C-alpha cells in the first residue's frame, strides 16, 4: 500500500469512532434527530476517506473509477446529512431548501451509484497528477476526467457552502458568537479545502487534495463541541439533582416544623379548654357555666382544625367536609342527654386555614345555639334533628347550612340585629369571610352561609 493511502484509512477510523460515540449519545437521548444527523455525517465522512484511500492506492487511472464513484456517492450524502444536522442544530434551514437539497444531492448520489457512463466519469480520458512534497516524496493521483453530472455536483457545492455561511451568520445574530463560532470554523475549513481541490483539478497549481482532511476537521471539531455540551449538561444535571436534594431536605424540615407548630397550637388550645372546664366546675351560677361551655366549644372547633392540619400532608388547607363530620361527633358527645340526632351532607372540598377557622366557629356556634334553644321544655318533637350541609356552588362559592326541626326563630328575626353574643359572632365572621348569611323558617330554623372559596 502506498504511504499516502494510509492516512485516509486512519482518518476513516477516527470518523467511525466519533460515529459510534454519537450513536451512544443518540440512544441515551431517546432518538434526537440532531444526534442521528451528525452520526450520518460521520459515517459519510468515513466512507469518503475510505474511497480516497482506495483511489490513492491504484496504479492505473482506469482502476480509480469505482473509487471515484464511491467518493461522489459518499460526498453527496455526507453534505446532505450535514445540512440536516445544521438545520436541527440551528433551526434556521428552511424546509423547502432541505427538500430541494434532498432532491438534488439524492439524484447526484444515485447517478454515481448507477454510473450512467460518461455523464459521471469519462473512463477514456485519464488524468494523472503528480505532487512533489517538500521532503522529496511524490504523491501521484491516477484519476479520470469527471463528467457533466459530477461537474454540476462540484459547482453546486459552492452554492451549498454560501447558503450554510448565511445560516451560520443568522445563527450568530440570534444565539451569539459563542454558539456559532464552531460552525463558522468548520465551514471555513471545508470552503478552503473545497476551493483548493477545484484549483488543483483545473491545473491552477500543484498541491494535494484536502477535502477529506477538511471533513475530518469538521467531524472532530463539532464532535468536540458536542462532547463539551454533553459534559456541561451532565454537570448541570448533577448540580440540579443536588439542588433538588437540598430543596427536598429543606421542605421536609419545613413540613416537620409546621407539624410541630400545629401540634403545639392544638395542645395549647386543649389546655385552655381544660382550664375553662375546671373553671366551669367551680362556678355555681348556670349562666356563667353556659358562657364557659360556649367558649370551650369555640376553642375546641379551632383545635380540631389544627389537629387535622397536623395529620395532613397539606398544611395550608383541610378537607372541610371531613372536618365537619368530626365536629358533629364532638358536638354529639358534648350534649349526650338531649336526644338530638345529627345528620350531615357534606362534600369533600378543601378550605384554606384562614377560611376554615371562622367557618368552623360559625358551624359550632349555630349547632350549639340550636341545641340550647331549638327544643325548649314544653315543645314536642318526636325526632329532634340537626342537619349540617356543605357543598360547592357555581362561581367558586361554597354553601354551609345548619338546619334544625325545632321551634324556629321569631317572626321578623334578622341576623344583623340579633342581640345574643353567638349571633353577633356569626354575623361578624360571615362578614370576615366576605359572604352572606340568611336565616329563615322551614319547619324549624335554617341558616345558610354562602361565601367565595379562595
The domain segmentation of the chain, as residue ranges, is 3-243, 318-454
Three-state secondary structure string covering 1-32: CCHHHHHHHHHHHHHHHHHHHHHHHHHHCCCC
Cell numbers 478552503: residue: 192
pTM of the shown model: 0.58
Distance from C-alpha of 387 to C-alpha of 93, rounded to nearest angstrom:
70
pLDDT tens for each residue of 246-294: 888 877 777 666 666 666 777 777 777 787 777 877 777 877 777 777 7
- Looking at residue 326, what is its pLDDT? 82
pLDDT tens for each residue of 428-443: 888 888 888 888 887 8
Reported as type and span, the H/E element at residue 291 is helix 286-311
- What is the percent of the chain with per-residue pLDDT over 90, rounded to a whole number? 34
pLDDT tens for each residue of 13-62: 999 999 998 888 888 877 688 889 999 999 999 999 999 999 999 999 99
Length of the chain equals 454
pLDDT tens for each residue of 295-315: 777 677 777 766 765 666 666
- Looking at residue 71, what is its pLDDT? 94
Class assignment of domain 3-243?
Answer: mainly alpha
3-243 and 318-454 agree in CATH topology: no
Summary mean pLDDT of the chain: 85
**The CATH number, out of the four listed (3.30.565.10, 3.30.365.10, 2.40.30.10, 3.40.50.280), of the domain defined by the range 318-454:** 3.30.565.10
Cross-strand bridge partners of residue 139: 131
- Looking at residue 138, what is its pLDDT? 83
Distance from C-alpha of 299 to C-alpha of 266, rounded to nearest angstrom:
10
Distance from C-alpha of 221 to C-alpha of 324, rounded to nearest angstrom:
69
- Rounded mean pLDDT, 403-415: 81
Amino acid at each position: 500500500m502506498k504511504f499516502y493511502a494510509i492516512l485516509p484509512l486512519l482518518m476513516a477510523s477516527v470518523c467511525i469512532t466519533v460515529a459510534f460515540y454519537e450513536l451512544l449519545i443518540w440512544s441515551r437521548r431517546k432518538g434526537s434527530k440532531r444526534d442521528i444527523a451528525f452520526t450520518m455525517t460521520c459515517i459519510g465522512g468515513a466512507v469518503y476517506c475510505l474511497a480516497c484511500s482506495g483511489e490513492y492506492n491504484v496504479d492505473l487511472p482506469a482502476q480509480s473509477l469505482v473509487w471515484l464513484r464511491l467518493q461522489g456517492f459518499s460526498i453527496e450524502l455526507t453534505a446532505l446529512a450535514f445540512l440536516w444536522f445544521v438545520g436541527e442544530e440551528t433551526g434556521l434551514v428552511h424546509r423547502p431548501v432541505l427538500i430541494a437539497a434532498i432532491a438534488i444531492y439524492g439524484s447526484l448520489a444515485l447517478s454515481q451509484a448507477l454510473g450512467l457512463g460518461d455523464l459521471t466519469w469519462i473512463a477514456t480520458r485519464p488524468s494523472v497528477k503528480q505532487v512533489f512534497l517538500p521532503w522529496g516524496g511524490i504523491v501521484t493521483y491516477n484519476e479520470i476526467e469527471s463528467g457533466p453530472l459530477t461537474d454540476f455536483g462540484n459547482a453546486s457545492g459552492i452554492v451549498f457552502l454560501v447558503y450554510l455561511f448565511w445560516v451560520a451568520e443568522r445563527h450568530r445574530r440570534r444565539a451569539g458568537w459563542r454558539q456559532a463560532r464552531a460552525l463558522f470554523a468548520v465551514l471555513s475549513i471545508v470552503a478552503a479545502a473545497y476551493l483548493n481541490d477545484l484549483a488543483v483539478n483545473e491545473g491552477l497549481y500543484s498541491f494535494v487534495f484536502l477535502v477529506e482532511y477538511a471533513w475530518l476537521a469538521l467531524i472532530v471539531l463539532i464532535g468536540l463541541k458536542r462532547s463539551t455540551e454533553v459534559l456541561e449538561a451532565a454537570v448541570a444535571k448533577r448540580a440540579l439533582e443536588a439542588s433538588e436534594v437540598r430543596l427536598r431536605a429543606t421542605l421536609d424540615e419545613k413540613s416537620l416544623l409546621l407539624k410541630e407548630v400545629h401540634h403545639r397550637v392544638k395542645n395549647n388550645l386543649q389546655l385552655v379548654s381544660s382550664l375553662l372546664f375546671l373553671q366551669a366546675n367551680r362556678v355555681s351560677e348556670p349562666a356563667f357555666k353556659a358562657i364557659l361551655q360556649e367558649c370551650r366549644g369555640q376553642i375546641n372547633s379551632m383545635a380540631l382544625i389544627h389537629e387535622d392540619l397536623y395529620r395532613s400532608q397539606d398544611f395550608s388547607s383541610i378537607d372541610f367536609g371531613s372536618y365537619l363530620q368530626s365536629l358533629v361527633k364532638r358536638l354529639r358527645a358534648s350534649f349526650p342527654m338531649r336526644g338530638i340526632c345529627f345528620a350531615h351532607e357534606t362534600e369533600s372540598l378543601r378550605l384554606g386555614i384562614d377560611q376554615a377557622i371562622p367557618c368552623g366557629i360559625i358551624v359550632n356556634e349555630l349547632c350549639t345555639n340550636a341545641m340550647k334553644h331549638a327544643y325548649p321544655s314544653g315543645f314536642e318533637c318526636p325526632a329532634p334533628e340537626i342537619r349540617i350541609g356543605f357543598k360547592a356552588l357555581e362561581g367558586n362559592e361554597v354553601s354551609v347550612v345548619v338546619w334544625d326541626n325545632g321551634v324556629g326563630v321569631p317572626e321578623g328575626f334578622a341576623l344583623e340585629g340579633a342581640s345574643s353574643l353567638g349571633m353577633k359572632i356569626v354575623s361578624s365572621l360571615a362578614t370576615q369571610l366576605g359572604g352572606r348569611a340568611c336565616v329563615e323558617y322551614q319547619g324549624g330554623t335554617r341558616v345558610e352561609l354562602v361565601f367565595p372559596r379562595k
